[in-house]
Amino acid sequence: MTGQLKDHLRLYLVTDPQLCAQTGIVETVRRAVAGGVTMVQLRAKHATTAQRIDLAMALKAALQGTGVPLVINDDVTAAVAADADGAHIGQGDIAPDKARAMLGPDRILGLSCETPQTVRDADPAYVDYLGLGPVFGTDTKTDHAQPTGFDGLADLIALSSLPNVAIGGLKPDHIDGVLASGADGMAVVSAICGQADPKAAARAFHSFKPEHKT
Ligand SMILES: Cc1ncc(COP(=O)(O)OP(=O)(O)O)c(N)n1
Ligand SMILES: Cc1ncsc1CCOP(=O)(O)O
Ligand SMILES: [Mg+2]
């Protein structure tokens, strides 16, 4: 499962319905997956649980048969109700043990970590992967911690054996830096959401190919 999860994490599209509005979130995801996206998160910060469930069902239908997992940000209730593949939580969200109890043993649980201590505290009994960063400052999430840069990212990665994905301000130009830091994946929002051609935008990350040490 870990090897498989690392493969899924390689190019992780975190969707923002507002940023994707012009093309539409479902069409953005369809095209981005055609361009090589390997995992999708629904991050609808201003939606209700009912709206997230509806969006998740539409995304699930679009992803059917692709093998690309769908994870719901913040809202474990929506993830379970929509029978999504998992949920992603941060340090200010529901606690990982409670999230795991709701998700059951088989769904994916991701946890955001911005500091060495939170990485050390991430318990593999509950958590499947870590979202690490922000690597760079970003307008997509304004309430973020001090950016880590590539060196800080590498320091965080060294503290846990859990699979990980780097996030925050990442663009195709950063592929070599993220690879050198040892990350299993790159998670992006604005590099794909809101781009005129989401398929081409995803394809621009094709050279990100980490060698897994499983
Ligand atoms: C893959 C990934 N990594 C980090 C985050 C950030 O989660 P969180 O800190 O809970 O912040 P919000 O996204 O909820 O604003 C993420 N969503 N995905
Ligand atoms: C959700 C999240 N968590 C840390 S930074 C971030 C937003 C990343 O967005 P972008 O890829 O547009 O910088
Ligand atoms: Mg959150």
Query: Model pTM?
Result: 0.97
Probe ligand 2: pick from 138, 144, 164, max atoms within 8 Å of CB? 138
Q: Look at residue 212 and tell me whether its pLDDT is greater than 80.
A: no
Give the position, in ligand 1's atom list, of the atom nearest the Cα of 131.
Answer: 3
Q: Is residue 208 part of a domain?
A: no
Enumerate the H helices of 35-187 as residue ranges: 49-63, 76-81, 96-103, 116-121, 149-157, 175-181
Q: In this structure, what CATH number is given to the domain that contains residue 149?
A: 3.20.20.70
30-68, pLDDT tens digit by residue? 999 999 999 999 999 999 999 999 999 999 999 999 999
119-131: burial string, b at 16+ Cβ within 10 Å, e else: beebeeebbbbbb
Q: Look at residue 3 and tell me whether its pLDDT is greater than 60.
A: no
- How far apart are alpha carbons 36 and 10 in whole angstroms? 9
Task: Give the residue whose CA is nearest to atom 1 of ligand 2.
Answer: 141
Q: Look at residue 85 and tell me whether its pLDDT is greater than 80.
A: yes
Q: Is residue 68 part of a domain?
A: yes
| Cβ–ligand 2 contact at 91 (below 6 Å) | no
For tokens 């830096």, name the residue.
177
Average pLDDT over the chain reads: 96
Q: Total structural domains in the chain?
A: 1
Domain that holds residue 76: 2-203
Quick one: CA torsion of 169, 171, 174, 178, rounded to 10 degrees? 70
Q: Is residue 214 part of a domain?
A: no
